[in-house]
Chains A and B, each alone.
Chain A
């Protein structure tokens, strides 16, 4: 049976492409802001475009941080896309204003330091060993469109914990997080749903990894 995926609907923007791309990847998809549906789904996708602060306001209005937290406590998969990835970090700083994120990961989302911003278009990524998401597409380009990013993440690892797998990208001399895989919590700064065949493969990799309870 196809895993069911909820795309969390908490604001405006193009969610149609995400829904269709996930369906094409083999999921049964529901677009909703319903908390119970979002908790029950085999996989939850947190999309997001626009301003960090506006996204956090929208996300809080549908109890997004609580839904994400509860799912992760049960080891249940969540995938953040674009600003949906950024809000998983500790803090977002836009136009000098700091907004608290979901704080699942340490780090600040800040303005990219590149000659041309937004970072818009197809870019390559540096993928770490052992990734599930990039299986079969490590050398491909993905579609990015963003002005802010996580430019610094010092991973701490020891005998008891496993460090997140972090994929990086580079634009105009600046380096930033392009994707993260951390147990049940995954995220991409780029838009897999807009990244043609490479993005389709990445989404299929994620959908395939969803284990039905």
Chain B
């Protein structure tokens, strides 16, 4: 036996509320992240990721309460990302009950931040989120983007993953911006390139639309698969995804 493939639902949280999704019959309040987290946990989610998309300071403060309430009621690992820009931010989130913290723009702006967080809290705490898209003129064929894929960060995506891993990132959350929202499947080429370049775990994200999309991402080298939309709108249930992975010969919990 070996490590199982992790299936991770991601919740977009704005001002302490889940951005509108399907109203699962078992939910009393579809907008409550804690309620939704419990449903995902009961369905067999291996971890949870909250992405805080709040624009305001008040919105972020509310997220802290959500993290605390979740940590007190759901006993699987919780990653929180969105606007994390300092060692203090990481400390606050961990104390609130997050197990891992995802970082994106702030790490690009100041790569030493990765090392500072890893030195203080350990590598396992830091998930480096890489929003990658195809771009001509880059060594790997992929560049890093910011602002939800709208802006180029002027860096090669694979080289950035390698640098961040060397600085102390514990995991790469690899978001394929070209595949994101298409529901046509994960970007397997991107996964293969990053898998070959780093020895830390890789979480594949972006493009999941059908149950049969997940196993190829794992075959391409992903240690975990993350999706938001398909779970959020009930297109796929976590159990179905796990069944499909199991049928394809991958160990699941």
Residues in A lying within 8 Å of B, measured CB to CB: 12-14, 16-17, 20-21, 24, 49-51, 54, 83, 115-124, 141, 143-147, 170-172, 191, 193-196, 199-200
Q: Contact check, B75 vs A118: say whether CB atoms are below 8 A apart.
A: no
Q: Contact check, B3 vs A119: say whether CB atoms are below 8 A apart.
A: yes
Q: Contact check, B97 vs A16: say whether CB atoms are below 8 A apart.
A: yes
Give the shortest distance, in Å, between A182 (CB) and chain B (any CB).
25
Q: Contact check, B3 vs A194: say whether CB atoms are below 8 A apart.
A: no
Stretch at the interface among B121-129, B132-140, B151-159, B176-184: B121-129
Give the shortest distance, in Å, between A19 (CB) and chain B (any CB).
9
Q: Which of B3, B4, B71, B170 lies in contact with A16, CB distance below 8 A?
A: B71
Residues in B lying within 8 Å of A, measured CB to CB: 1-4, 6, 41, 46, 68, 71-73, 75-77, 91, 94-99, 119-125, 170-171, 199-201, 223-224, 253
CA A118 to CA B121, docked complex, whole Å: 14
Q: Contact check, B95 vs A116: say whether CB atoms are below 8 A apart.
A: no
Q: Contact check, A120 vs B97: say whether CB atoms are below 8 A apart.
A: no
Q: Contact check, B121 vs A13: say whether CB atoms are below 8 A apart.
A: yes
Q: Contact check, A194 vs B171: say whether CB atoms are below 8 A apart.
A: no
CA A132 to CA B181, docked complex, whole Å: 48
Q: Contact check, B75 vs A141: say whether CB atoms are below 8 A apart.
A: no
CA A172 to CA B199, docked complex, whole Å: 12
CA A117 to CA B3, docked complex, whole Å: 12
B253 partner residues in chain A, CB cutoff 8 A: 122, 141
Q: Contact check, B77 vs A194: say whether CB atoms are below 8 A apart.
A: yes
- Besides A120-B171, A120-B223, A194-B99, 12 more A-B contacts (Cβ < 8 Å) are A14-B94, A16-B71, A49-B124, A116-B200, A122-B3, A143-B77, A145-B99, A147-B123, A194-B76, A194-B77, A199-B75, A200-B75
